[in-house]
Structure 1
Amino acid sequence: MNRRADLLRTLAARFAAAGLDTPEREARALLRAALGLSDLDLVARDDVAVADDDAARLESLATRRASGEPLARLTGHREFWSLDFALAPDTLVPRPDTETLIEAGLEAFPDHTRALRILDLGTGSGAILAALLSEYPAAWGLGVDLSEGAARQARANLERLGLADRAAILVGAWDAGISGRFDLVVSNPPYIASTDIPTLEVEVRTHDPLLALDGGADGLDAYRAITAALPRLLAPGGRAILELGIGQETDVVALLAASGVPADGPARRDLGDVARAIVTAPA
């Protein structure tokens, strides 16, 4: 039998050879997930033997990770805003850059006791909506996604996080069929130009759903639909926060201005100093 420490070294070496950026961290994360271990188990009990069937399962997962399948797809889970989200093939893997939207929302609405009405367009796994509901305990939210599979996963995540009684998930195209107005409209829409999809990293182009990536010929189709809908969706004083792709700030600001819902200033930047979240002025 292999010891945990031996497997950890083997995995790290394999991931390094495959060109992964943080092979030791990825090896540790995969070993934890595959064997149901804690960090303490790996440090204090690294000499424990691993059963042959567990080692075989770990080998299979390692092969998939080395070939470019994201770790979150292998484990079926991803943390976002310190919450755990289950994934489905129909949902994007939530990324740390998107937490910039949550930070911008907290800045726009500093009173956490407000009974906000929140609309999340293209909700995916429900990560943005759930994160905001966790910060505003009196808020109610509606998530919309074109994918039935994504909507189903978002409902399951909200239920598991104890937020389902303050949320609803609908299947639909952006604002179609939505009535009423909202204090906060958020979206991480598909924003990759169609011709750029083949150039994306294998983790994205092969394992993320195309529906959540493809933003049309210039990457702006979803923004056109969303910005056109904002005047009827936003309540008085309401704000919209949209995630941006690299280099899209100028175009999206122009679309917002044309819709009569201007940006409140420069986009909020993520940890990589990319203009990531554009926020509208109060409606």
Structure 2
Amino acid sequence: MQAQVLLAEGVAALRAAGIEGAARDARWLMAHALDLGLDRLTLALQDPVTEAQAARFQAAIAARAHRQPVAQITGQRLFWGRLFRVTPDVLDPRPETETLIATALEQPFGRVLDLGTGSGAILATLLAECPEATGTGVDLSPAALGVAQGNAQVLGVAPRVSFLHSDWCAGVSGQFDLIVSNPPYIGAGEIADLAPETRDWEPRMALVPEGCDGTGLAAYRAIAAQAPAHLAPGGRLIVELGLGQGPAVLALFAQAGLTSGRLVDDLTGRARVALAYSP
């Protein structure tokens, strides 16, 4: 069977399952099954597939039809132009999080702390973009830290990064020029409305903050209470936001003594990032 015929069957199966972007996802999964880069897939569509390749593709299509994210099926996600390993133990790095990266890179930094590092995509990207910088990533999940360490090694930044098993800043020492975080910010009442790919497949602790009071602000309260003590004078605290949380997060930062707080919009015009400075 030609790859093109098998691909068409996969697209049809995903459309029947109600998957938005079925053609796009099927192409990613076909490239994965053939062990090709997506940019080379078109050249291979006229070629016959082996039984093993067909079985791999069909298994991937079945997983996607059950709403498993493509990144978990393929085990990787492109973020800021680099490939990162993704597992069910970490959040799938999303394009909107690149707004945090762009904001962080607006000013130089020497030491960076990533709170709730997950896959390590944010921290490893910042270190890859700033070859003189060093970083620390903390997470409460040992499995996530393992993924982050692997990604740091693949990107060649491992000699400049350390990882800590810590509840926010509990195990952190020293001061940093930049502290970043994409914390859990989903409110208790929002869980049922999440897409199945997120609700059913991604780690709950990375989505919903512990001690959630329904607002999704618990993690920001912890960060605002703990992070300022680890910011060097003039250092920046930058966090990703949930929908409509910007004003409340800026208020928490101001109460913690941080200054010049502002919100940064993503490409859709939504306030995606909050930024404030240590005096």
In the alignment, is the contact (CA less than 8 A) between 2:232 and 2:278 conserved in 1? no
Contact 1:263 1:278 in 2 (8 A): no
Q: Give the equivalent residue in structure 1 for 2:104.
A: 105
Partner of 1:36: 35
Aligned to 2:231: 234
Task: Please state how far the C-alpha of 1:25 moved relative to its aligned partner.
Answer: 1.5
Q: Deviations for 1:194-242, whole angstroms, at most 9, x for unmatched residues?
A: 2322221100011110010012122111100101113211101100101
Partner of 1:133: 127
Q: CA deviation at 1:263?
A: 4.4
Partner SS for 1:191:
coil
Stretch of structure 1 that moved more, 21-30 or 200-209:
21-30
Unmatched runs of 5 consecutive residues or more in structure 2: none
Whole-angstrom CA distance in 1 between matches of 2:157 and 2:38: 29
Say which SS state the counterpart of residue 230 (structure 1) adopts: helix
Q: What's the secondary structure of 1:92's corresponding residue?
A: coil
9-18 or 90-99, which moves further after superposition? 9-18
- Aligned twin of 1:96: 95
Change in Cα spacing, 1:276 to 1:11, as seen in structure 2 (3 Å) is same
* Aligned alpha-carbon RMSD (Å): 1.4
Which SS does the other structure have where 1:190 is aligned? coil
Query: Which residue does the alignment assign to 2:274?
Result: 278
Deviation of 1:40 after TM superposition, in Å, equals 5.7
1:142-171 Cα distance to aligned partner (Å, 9 max, x none): 000000101111111101111000000000
**Counterpart-to-counterpart distance in 1, 2:267 and 2:227:** 28
TM-score (normalised: structure 2)? 0.95
**Residue number in structure 2 paired with 1:8:** 7
Question: What secondary structure sits across from 1:180 in the alignment?
Answer: coil
Would you say the 8 A contact 1:88–1:149 is kept in 2? Answer: no
Q: Does 1:121 align with 2:108?
A: no
Partners of 2:207 and 2:41 in 1: CA distance: 37
State how 1:192-271 maps to structure 2 within 5 Å.
192-215=186-209, 216-217=212-213, 218-265=215-262, 267-271=263-267
Partner Cα separation in structure 2 for residue 233 and residue 40 of structure 1: 43
Structure 2 counterpart of 1:191, from 182, 185, 192: 185
Instruction: Give the partner amino acid of 1:268.
Output: V
Q: Which runs of 5+ in 1 are unaligned?
A: none
* Residues 18-33 of structure 1 mapped to structure 2, 5 A cutoff: 18-33=17-32
Matched to 1:250, the amino acid is: P
Aligned equivalent of 1:145: 139
**If the length of structure 1 is used for normalisation, what is the TM-score?**
0.93
Supply the AA of the counterpart residue of 1:272: T
Q: How many residues align?
A: 276
- Give the counterpart letter for 2:100 in structure 1: L
Distance in 2 between residues matched to 1:40 and 1:247, nearest whole Å: 37
